[in-house]
Chains A and B, each alone.
Chain A
Amino acid sequence: MSDHDPRQNRPLSPHLQIWKPNLTMAMSILHRITGAALYFAMVLAAWWLVALASGPDYFAFVDGIFRSWFGLIVLFGASYALFHHAMGGIRHLVWDTGRAFAIPAAEHMAIMSLILAVAFTVILWLAGFVAS
């Protein structure tokens, strides 16, 4: 066809270093990071259920790891990631209906989802400690 490189003069979309960091950008990145973290956290959920199915001895071993200070920190992080990703998901479902694209509305949703994610995490662990 033509002798010019077809990619040479095509516009490049602005990339990370062009933009000033902002709240909705951070939430977008966090949505992906929490999603990826939850992907690997599913190993823990499967491991715990397999241990429960395997018998009391192996369950005691796995349960001991989960209840150690390191295990609890990981589980606390996983629970926050779950609620953060769930709240972020709700924001995306709202956007899918064509609503809340204006910056004030988007930032309002971002702040609300952060508050709710923290609240859900705290409620889950408080309820867990009360129940145990």
Chain B
Amino acid sequence: MARSFVTPLSRARGKGSAHEGTHHFIAQRATALAAIVLTLFLAVILVMLAGRDYAAARTLIANPFVAAALTATAAVFCWHMKLGMQVIIEDYVHGRILRPALLFANAAFSAAIFLLVVVAIGKIAFS
């Protein structure tokens, strides 16, 4: 029989891979690729915002193309940062309560940031 690298303890527990690792890996790379393109877009928008007052800044963000691309940027950034912070938590936090609590807080925080950005851009674009 081939040598198994599963420890007796984990064999007794009977839990194997959750089979989500590949999805996480691919999503992190896909959002990274999109984030590189959107970072260049964001840099252009930031420069365009630099000289604007309140009304002019709202006009720029209200532009449908800017509003759509900025929403896409928020979606990609928030998804990517959720995946990244998840890895950091999984690397460093091992408590049976603290670890799942932080993983949940991470997902909630990333979703909250995204929703705030979407509502703010929506309010600017639709008013």
Q: Which A residues have a C-beta under 8 Å from some C-beta of B?
A: 1-2, 6-7, 32, 35-36, 38-39, 42-43, 45-46, 49-50, 52-53, 56, 59-60, 63, 82-83, 86, 89-90, 92-93, 96, 120, 124, 127-129, 131-132
Q: Which residues of A contact B36 (CB under 8 A)?
A: 86, 89-90
In whole angstroms, what is the CA distance A86 to B84 when docked? 13
A–B complex contacts, Cβ < 8 Å, 15 sampled: A1-B8, A6-B9, A32-B88, A35-B85, A38-B81, A39-B81, A42-B78, A45-B74, A49-B117, A49-B120, A60-B54, A89-B36, A96-B29, A127-B47, A132-B50
- Choice from A42, A53, A63, A90 contacting B120 with Cβ under 8 Å: A53
The majority secondary structure among interface residues of chain A is helix
Interface set, chain B 42-62, CB cutoff 8 A to A:
43, 46-48, 50-51, 54, 57-58, 61
The majority secondary structure among interface residues of chain B is helix
- Choice from A2, A32, A53, A93 contacting B8 with Cβ under 8 Å: A2
Which of A83, A90, A131 counts the most B-chain CB atoms under 10 A from its CB? A131
Asked if B32 contacts A92 (CB within 8 A), the reply is yes
In whole angstroms, what is the CA distance A19 to B29 when docked? 28
Q: Which B residues have a C-beta under 8 Å from some C-beta of A?
A: 7-9, 29, 32-33, 35-36, 39, 43, 46-48, 50-51, 54, 57-58, 61, 74, 77-78, 81, 84-85, 88, 113, 116-117, 119-121, 123-124
Q: Which residues of B contact A2 (CB under 8 A)?
A: 8
In whole angstroms, what is the CA distance A45 to B78 when docked? 12
B92 to chain A, nearest CB (A): 10
Q: Which residues of B contact A35 (CB under 8 A)?
A: 81, 84-85, 88
Asked if A46 contacts B113 (CB within 8 A), the reply is yes
Asked if A46 contacts B120 (CB within 8 A), the reply is yes
- Choice from B47, B61, B119 contacting A124 with Cβ under 8 Å: B47
In whole angstroms, what is the CA distance A42 to B109 when docked? 10
A69 to chain B, nearest CB (A): 17
